[in-house]
Structure formats: C-alpha cells, structure tokens
Amino acid sequence: AQSVTQPDIHITVSEGASLELRCNYSYGATPYLFWYVQSPGQGLQLLLKYFSGDTLVQGIKGFEAEFKRSQSSFNLRKPSVHWSDAAEYFCAVGESNQGGKLIFGQGTELSVKP
Amino acid sequence: DGGITQSPKYLFRKEGQNVTLSCEQNLNHDAMYWYRQDPGQGLRLIYYSQIVNDFQKGDIAEGYSVSREKKESFPLTVTSAQKNPTAFYLCASSLARVESTEAFFGQGTRLTVV
C-alpha cells in the first residue's frame, strides 16, 4: 500500500540548533516528494519538492531535503532553526503530473525553545 | 494576486444539516482537490477534479459531494450522511497533466457540527 510515515509526532529544538525531520515512504511508482509547512489554522505552504535529478534539493526559508532511494526516505533539514520555524510539517508523495493528488504523512509538530 | 480563496473561514452547523464549502481559484489551474485534516492524521483526499464537469472520488468520499461547473470553482457539500463532519477542510489546485507540477492550498475552512 502507498503510504508516508513521519515517525516523530512532536520535536522540540533550541533556537539556533540544527533540525532534521524524518520522512519514509512506500510508493509503487517513481515517487515525487514534497515537504509542506502549516502554521496553526492556516493552509499549507510548499517548502520544497523533488522530481528527479540532484537528490539534495533546496527550498525556501533555508530548508533542504535529501532523497535516498535505498532507504525510501526524504528527510528535511535546516542548519539553524529560528523561532518563526515553529509550525507543523508535512511530507507528501504523489504522481508527477497530478500535483495535488497527494498522500500525506501524519505531520511533525516543531516547537522552538528560546 | 492569484490564489485560492476558501469561504467561510469558520462554519457552524447543526447535526443533520447539509453544508457547502466554497473554493475559488484564479490561478487558471485545471485540477482542483478537497482534503480533510484531522489532528494527528495528516490530510486525506476527499474528491478531485482534473477538468470541468468531471471529478473522482478520493480516499474518504463517503458523505461528501462536489460539482465542477466552472474551472474556477469546486464547491464541497458535506451531507448529513457524513458521520463525523467536524474537521478542517482544505482546497487545493494544480496544473493538470503537466510534469513536475505542485499543489497550491487555500487557507482552509473549519467546520464544527453541533
């Protein structure tokens, strides 16, 4: 079955510390992978996406993610977290020509300590 | 500015009543989607449409209905058959049948059934 797993429901990091959010997927075809961020009560904003090519992709707000086919993973990283990064983060997988037909993970809530 | 507008932001209805959520986009996207978000469960696809006058069921279509009479609009009706309608509903749109496309999301409608 196609699925996305985000193992960490809630993560707390100190401001200025590095961050890694985990994402594992199970998908029968070539996966097209996304990370979205959601502030409370708001819609989703795309951070970055991977379709093909370089397996390390850069996104907005200083985020990056690395696609590892052998591990079925697409982890999100940021070298130095800012207080404004506190939000919920969703990993999703889909088909390349149906950009909105996505399977989402359960989400990881990020808290940032001063 | 181009974007997706969902209205209203908050909606309260009595149990047993049908209610319609509005979604309008001016991005000239062919494809539109409705997702439901519950705490700890990520987003789940309700219905999607890739072209006017055509739509398909997603993973949790029971108790919902949609129409797509105009390219810009994709309203969702939550019927009295939906057993647990209280949730956050998100509308999205994307290009259709285009490689490397991505979804853009509205700000959501929080529906509370009392």
What was the pLDDT predicted at B1? 64
Q: What are A70-96's pLDDT values in tens digits?
A: 999 999 999 999 999 999 999 999 876
Task: Using a CB–CB cutoff of 8 Å, tell me whether A46 touches chain B.
Answer: yes
Q: What are B11-45's pLDDT values in tens digits?
A: 999 998 999 999 999 999 999 999 999 988 889 99
Nearest residue, CB atoms, B103 vs list A51, A97, A100? A100
Can you spell out the DSSP letters for chain B?
---EEEE-SEEEE-TT--EEEEEEE-S--SEEEEEEE-TTS-EEEEEEEEETTEEEE-TT-TTEEE--SBTTB--EEE-TT-S---EEEEEEEE-BS-TT---EE---EEEEE-
Task: Using a CB–CB cutoff of 8 Å, tell me whether A28 touches chain B.
Answer: no
| Residue B98: pLDDT over 80 | no
Contact check, Cβ <8 Å, A99/B94: yes
Q: Which of residues 2-41 of B touch A (CB under 8 A)?
A: 4, 6, 31-33, 35, 40-41
